[in-house]
Each structure stands twice: as structure tokens, then as C-alpha cells.
């Protein structure tokens, strides 16, 4: 029997070769992320597989899809995970190299209730992780992750006979065909597919061509696990800047950018201007609410406040619910409410039938955006953006904060803002009209502007977003004169990954 994991093992030692290493911090709110080597070793991944297999047995399941993203070490991690799942008596269905949405699709395609996708998503090289689910199209949330953590760290898994593994071909072809069927474009469009040399490069360009896109220009679509130019993250300023440059060079109608595991989509319009995913979500909600009256949409607390005030949505009877940031939270809330779609500012889009199957898929999101353009043949994407009410929203900015400290820091900020609001405090001369604390703290001001501080669910970081209804200068002031100084008073908060 594999011994219970330890957290104090060092690489290049005897114990590291014979004992599982699993650091507790890798169990996040809705998936698992570790630095491979210093935080988890292959025996630790095997222990994770034993724990996951034991847990899905508790849930009455045994059949599970596994896939892996394109990293130099992902295949070996998936194989270690598979050894653990088989030892726990699971029927493992290995679909090979995949994006996360392809693994979710395979749950439906192969009639498997459970999934374990080995991916570090858009994280830098060195990171690994697993996205898991046992009730399609949902993925684990805090309750499921808490139980899994308890089993794995306690070494209380159960080995069972009857485990098996089968390698299944053909899922990639069926997945691309299914995703492409979500839009059939009659309007001639020139579209750039930007993949940052990540896994989506093996899927997205072909899917876009099958949707009827007249000209698909591939940008960094060759798989290269060194990520020679930048991390495949369409929320990162570097990738967005390169996407914008490519649109101007090629005279493209738009650029669609996909993250490392293909479940997110970023957009740059025909003028070379980035459109954050919440604004794309609002454009899609306007378009879809005309086709589906009285629709419900779910958006995360990092998203623009325009969803709550938009006159087009009101005229179409649409309802918007703000909810916790995180792909698992928004996915679950979208399913729970029977919402037509859910939008997350980081670029996760969730479409329920008839548009999608409820899980986040960057290519299905691309199909929805292209279908919207097809329904508006006389308008460019920039025209649809300019038709929106004006709001100036920042990049997502993330100062470093250790996993062991970030939640305590954010709790303190929540308490401080709550007391500040109760005491009649003002932010840059404006009254506070609402303090939303479902996920960190979102402080709404009298003119519709707001600031957000929350803990990252998958990295040792705090997340900051601000939005102004007035101007870009005011948006910058909300960050530089309000949020940044407030966080700077806390020594646990370090350097930002990017700043406005």
C-alpha cells in the first residue's frame, strides 16, 4: 500500500523516490494546482489518483475520462494519475492529448460520468494540475475538493480490484466536428487564431475553418511546450498586444485567442482593440436575448456593472445574476438557474442548450461570437462594441500573496471596506452604495464605478479589478489612489504581475 503523502520531501533524496509528496496548498477551491517537483512528485500524483478513485466510488461512479495538455511532463503525470485510478478500481478512458473542453465533451461522447484533465491551464511552465468532475457538465467545487483533500492527505484511499485502462481514438475528430457545428458562417470573415503555442493550436484553427470562416490566419499555433513567445493566456497584456498587432498587420476582422488548455477565449476587434470577456459577454447577451426572450445570464463579480443597467437587456426581459468568480462556480450557477449563458471576465464562457452543453469551451465561445457577427452582416465587431454604454474597466491585476496568507489578507480587506461603508466613507469623493461579499469584496459607488479585491483560486495571488463610469484616468485613479495603497499597507502583499 502506498504510504500517506508527506509535505516535507526534497527532490534528489532517497525519501523523494519512495514516498509521495503532496503539499496541501495544491488543493484549490475548484481544481488542483502544484509546482511539479517541489510541491508534488509522481508518487504524489499516484496518491491523488487513488484518492480521486476512492472519492468517485463514494459517489457511486467508476468510469472516468482522462486527458492531458501539451507540456513536457503532462503525459507522465497523467500516467501516474492513471495508475492510482486503476488501483482504486476505476475504469479509465484515456483520450490522449486534449484540451479541457475536449475532455468534457468526451464525458458525453463516451458516456462517462467523471473526468480528470491533467492541465496547468495558462500557468507558467513548472505548474501542473488536474481539473475534475463527477457530474457532467459540472466540475468540482469547494465541497468536493475538500473531501478529496481529506482522503489524499490522510492516505485513507481504498484499493479495489477490477480497475482498467482503455486508450480511445477518434475523440478529437468528433469534438472538432461538434464544436464546428455550433456556427455556420455565411459572411466572409478573416479571423486570426492565436494559441500561444499551447494545446488549442491542435484544435482551434481546424474548427474555425469548418465553421465556414473564409480565411483563418494561424498565429503561434504550432505546439511548443517551451512557450517561446509568451504564456498562452488571452487575459495577459503581452498576448493581447501581439493579437492586436496581428489584426492591424493582416487587416483581419478579429483575432480569437485561446489559453493553454483551450477553455478560454480572448478577443481583439477589427480596430486592433482588445475587448475584455465581460464586454464580449454583454454583446453576446444583447444578441442572444433577442433570440431567447426573458433569458437569464450569470456573470462573475469581476465583470462590468453594465449588465445590471443595460437597456437592451431590460427591453428583452433578460435577468443578470452576479456570482463568485471561478469556472466551477459560474458553471454550477448557470446550470442551477437554467441560465442561457454564463460569462466570466477571465474568458470562460458557458452556454447551456441549444448553444452548448454547459461547460466552458473557448472554441464554442468563438462560434457564438462568429454567429453574432453573422447575424449582424452590416456591422463590424468594433461597431457592436461601440454600441455598448461606456465603462472603463481595468486589466485583471494580481499582486503576489502566499497561498497560506491570501485568504486572511482578503478577509481583512473585506472587513475594512464593510466598516468603511457603514461609517459613511467615500472613495474619491463618491458614496458607497453597495458592498458585495460573495467572493472577496466588490465595492459599488454611486456613479456605477466599482472596485474589487478577491483571492485567486488557483495561484498565490490576490486579484484586483476596477471599473469607472467616468474616464480612463478615473479608472486608473481608483486603482492607484484607492486599492493599491490599501493593499500596500499589508506586508504580505507583493509585486503585481501587471498594472494599469
121 is catalytic: yes
Beta-sheet pairing, 265-268 with 274-275: antiparallel
Query: What is the rounded end-to-end Cα distance, in angstroms, of the chain?
Result: 52
Inter-residue contact 272 to 241 (CB < 8 Å): no
Rg over CA atoms, the chain: 22
The C-alpha angle 67, 108, 346, rounded to 5 degrees, equals 65
Which residue's C-alpha cell is 491533467?
A: 118
The C-alpha angle 415, 418, 420, rounded to 5 degrees, equals 105
3-state DSSP assignment of residue 491: coil
As a whole number of angstroms, the distance between CA 135 and CA 114 comes to 6
Q: How many CB atoms lie within 10 A of CB 8?
A: 8
Is the link from the previous residue into 137 a cis peptide, with omega within 30 of 0?
Answer: yes
Identify the CA nearest to 394 among candidates 500, 487, 481.
Answer: 500
Inter-residue contact 385 to 404 (CB < 8 Å): no
Q: Which of 443-454 are b and which e, b meaning 16 or more Cβ less than 10 Å from the residue's Cβ? A: bbbeebbbbbbb
Q: How many CB atoms lie within 10 A of CB 185?
A: 17
Please give the grid coordinates belonging to residue 181. 457545428
- The one catalytic residue among 72, 76, 100, 121: 121
As a whole number of angstroms, the distance between CA 218 and CA 228 comes to 16
Q: At what angle do helices 100-109 and 171-180 cross, to 10 degrees?
A: 100
**Residues catalogued as catalytic:** 121
Amino acid at each position: 500500500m502506498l504510504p500517506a503523502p508527506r509535505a516535507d520531501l526534497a527532490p534528489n533524496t532517497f525519501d523523494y523516490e519512495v514516498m509521495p509528496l503532496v503539499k496541501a496548498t495544491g488543493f484549490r477551491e475548484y481544481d488542483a494546482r502544484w509546482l511539479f517537483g517541489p510541491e508534488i512528485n509522481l508518487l504524489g500524483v499516484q496518491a491523488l489518483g487513488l484518492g480521486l478513485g476512492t472519492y468517485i466510488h463514494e459517489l457511486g461512479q467508476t468510469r472516468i475520462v482522462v486527458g492531458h495538455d501539451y507540456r513536457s511532463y503532462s503525459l507522465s503525470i497523467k500516467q501516474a494519475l492513471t495508475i492510482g485510478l486503476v488501483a482504486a478500481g476505476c475504469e479509465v478512458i484515456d483520450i490522449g492529448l486534449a484540451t479541457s473542453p475536449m475532455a468534457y465533451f468526451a464525458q458525453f461522447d463516451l458516456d462517462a460520468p467523471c473526468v480528470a484533465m491533467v492541465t496547468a491551464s495558462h500557468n507558467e511552465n513548472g505548474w501542473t494540475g488536474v481539473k475534475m468532475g463527477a457530474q457532467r457538465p459540472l466540475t468540482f467545487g469547494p465541497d468536493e475538493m475538500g473531501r478529496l483533500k481529506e482522503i489524499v492527505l490522510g492516505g485513507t484511499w481504498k484499493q479495489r480490484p477490477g480497475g482498467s485502462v482503455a486508450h480511445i481514438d477518434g475523440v478529437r475528430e468528433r469534438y472538432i466536428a461538434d464544436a464546428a457545428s455550433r456556427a455556420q458562417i455565411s459572411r466572409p470573415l478573416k479571423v486570426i487564431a492565436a494559441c500561444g503555442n499551447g494545446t488549442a493550436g491542435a484544435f482551434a484553427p481546424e474548427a474555425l475553418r469548418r465553421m465556414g470562416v473564409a480565411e483563418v490566419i494561424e498565429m503561434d499555433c504550432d505546439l511548443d511546450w517551451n512557450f517561446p513567445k509568451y504564456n498562452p493566456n488571452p487575459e495577459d497584456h503581452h498576448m493581447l498586444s501581439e493579437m492586436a498587432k496581428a489584426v492591424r498587420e493582416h487587416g483581419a476582422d478579429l483575432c480569437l485567442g485561446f489559453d493553454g488548455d483551450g477553455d478560454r477565449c480572448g478577443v481583439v476587434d477589427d480596430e486592433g482593440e482588445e475587448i475584455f470577456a465581460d464586454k464580449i459577454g454583454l454583446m453576446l447577451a444583447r444578441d442572444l436575448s433577442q433570440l431567447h426572450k426573458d433569458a437569464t445570464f450569470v456573470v462573475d463579480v469581476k465583470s462590468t456593472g453594465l449588465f445590471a443597467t443595460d437597456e437592451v437587456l431590460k427591453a428583452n426581459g433578460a435577468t443578470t445574476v452576479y456570482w463568485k468568480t471561478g469556472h466551477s462556480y459560474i458553471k454550477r450557477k448557470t446550470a442551477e438557474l437554467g441560465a442561457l449563458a454564463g460569462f466570466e471576465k477571465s474568458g470562460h464562457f458557458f452556454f447551456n442548450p441549444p448553444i452548448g452543453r454547459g461547460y466552458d469551451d473557448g472554441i464554442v465561445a468563438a462560434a457564438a461570437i462568429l454567429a453574432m457577427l453573422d447575424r449582424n452582416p452590416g456591422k463590424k465587431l468594433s461597431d457592436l462594441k461601440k454600441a455598448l454604454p461606456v465603462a472603463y474597466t481595468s486589466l485583471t491585476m494580481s499582486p503576489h500573496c502566499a497561498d497560506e496568507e491570501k485568504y486572511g489578507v482578503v478577509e481583512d480587506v473585506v472587513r475594512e471596506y464593510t466598516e468603511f461603508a457603514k461609517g459613511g466613507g467615500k472613495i474619491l469623493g463618491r458614496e458607497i452604495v453597495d458592498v458585495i461579499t460573495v467572493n472577496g469584496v466588490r465595492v459599488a459607488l454611486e456613479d456605477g464605478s466599482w472596485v474589487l479585491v478577491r483571492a485567486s483560486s488557483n495561484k498565490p495571488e490576490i486579484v484586483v479589478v476596477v471599473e469607472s463610469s467616468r474616464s480612463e484616468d478615473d479608472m486608473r485613479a481608483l486603482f492607484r489612489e484607492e486599492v493599491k495603497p490599501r493593499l500596500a499597507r499589508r506586508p504580505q502583499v507583493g509585486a503585481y504581475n501587471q498594472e494599469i
